[in-house]
């Protein structure tokens, strides 16, 4: 029987998800709160990690190791790189990388450390379900590469570095760390984001303006996917 982890990074990213559920049991653990719900017989644990790769790794590992989740879905917002991605648009990650992981001084590529890999692939099965749901609901969704780093990107220069180095379509601060954890623990995972800004000089203003509406776009689509699991 599947036990599902649904994760975001910010409270604003899981608030629209929690609104779908009643009878929520809250478990406090490791300076965080984990919300247990039951949905059509499906056991689900929902949490927001707090911002950045370290918090996201802790939450993903906790949901799997402590709560026993065997599938992990992430819902949230992202900065758009691919010009096809407008604010509010949805992107599903087929693979993820860490744009700020850098030991190039030793001849290694950006995003690589020994024992790791630059790109980590998400679950093809979950992506297939998601694309079917998008088709059935007439939702425009892009599938692409998401780059993760511990910085809010708000400059064309950094955005272009990430695009050129990783051919990334969008960027954020948690997805690749969730990917490393799920890949190591052999847990199928799915990373969904809606665009809140385009990671350039206007990013901060756009983020503030579109966080809530984009987080809802992602959450509403994710719930439709959950119903198919």
Ligand X SMILES: Nc1ncnc2c(CN3C[C@H](CCSCCOCCO)[C@@H](O)C3)c[nH]c12
Query: Could you list the residues that contact ligand X (CB under 6 A)?
Result: 9-10, 51, 77-79, 152-154, 171-174, 196-197, 199, 203, 207
Task: Write down the residue that tokens 């604003």 correspond to.
Answer: 12
Nearer to ligand X, 115 or 206 (CB): 206
Selecting among 12, 13, 200, 206, the annotated active-site residue is 13
Question: CA-to-CA distance for 57 and 19, rounded, in angstroms?
Answer: 25
Annotated active-site residue 197? The verdict is: yes
Min CB(193)–ligand X separation in Å: 7
183 is a catalytic site residue: no
What is the SS3 assignment for 204? helix
Residue 3 or 57: the one with the smaller Cβ distance to ligand X is: 57
Q: Smallest Cα–Cα separation from 154: which of 175, 171, 178?
A: 171
Nearer to ligand X, 53 or 95 (CB): 53
Which lies closer to ligand X via its Cβ, residue 94 or residue 172?
A: 172
Residue, CB closest to ligand X:
79
Q: In sequence order, which residues have a C-beta less than 8 Å from that of residue 104 and are 6 or more positions away?
A: 110
**β-strand 32-39 against 42-48: which pairing, if any?**
antiparallel
Among 12, 94, 169, 197, the one annotated catalytic = 197
- Phi then psi for 102, rounded to 5 degrees? -145, 105
> Least distance in Å: CB of 27 to ligand X?
22
Least distance in angstroms from the C-beta of 152 to ligand X? 4
Handedness of CA 81, 59, 34, 224 (dihedral sign): positive
- Whose Cβ is closer to ligand X: residue 45's or residue 146's? 146
Report how far residue 54's alpha carbon sits from residue 144's, in angstroms, rounded to the nearest whole number. Answer: 23
Shortest Å distance, C-beta 210 to ligand X: 9
Q: What is the CA radius of gyration of the chain?
A: 16
DSSP letter for 9, please.
Answer: S
CB of 132 to ligand X, least distance (A): 26
- Report, as residue numbers or ranges, the catalytic residues: 13, 197
């Amino acid at each position: 029987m599947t036990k599902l982890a649904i994760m975001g990074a910010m409270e604003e990213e899981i608030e629209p998800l929690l609104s779908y559920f009643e009878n929520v049991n809250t478990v406090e653990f490791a300076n965080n709160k984990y919300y247990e719900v039951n949905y059509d017989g499906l056991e689900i644990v929902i949490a927001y990690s707090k911002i950045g790769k370290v918090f996201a790794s802790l939450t993903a590992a906790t949901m799997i190791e402590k709560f026993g989740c065997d599938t992990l879905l992430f819902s949230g917002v992202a900065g758009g790189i691919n010009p096809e991605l407008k604010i509010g648009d949805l992107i599903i990650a087929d693979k993820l990388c860490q744009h700020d992981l850098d030991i190039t001084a030793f001849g290694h590529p950006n995003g690589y450390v020994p024992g790791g890999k630059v790109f980590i692939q998400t679950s093809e099965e979950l992506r297939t379900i998601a694309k079917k749901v998008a088709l059935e609901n007439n939702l425009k969704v892009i599938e692409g590469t998401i780059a993760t780093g511990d910085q809010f990107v708000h400059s064309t220069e950094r955005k272009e570095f990430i695009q050129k180095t990783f051919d990334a379509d969008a960027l954020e601060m948690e997805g690749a760390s969730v990917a490393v954890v799920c890949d190591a623990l052999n847990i199928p995972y799915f990373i969904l984001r809606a665009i809140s800004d385009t990671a350039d000089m206007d990013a901060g203003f756009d983020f503030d303006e579109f966080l809530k509406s984009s987080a809802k776009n992602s959450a509403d689509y994710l719930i439709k996917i959950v119903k198919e699991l």
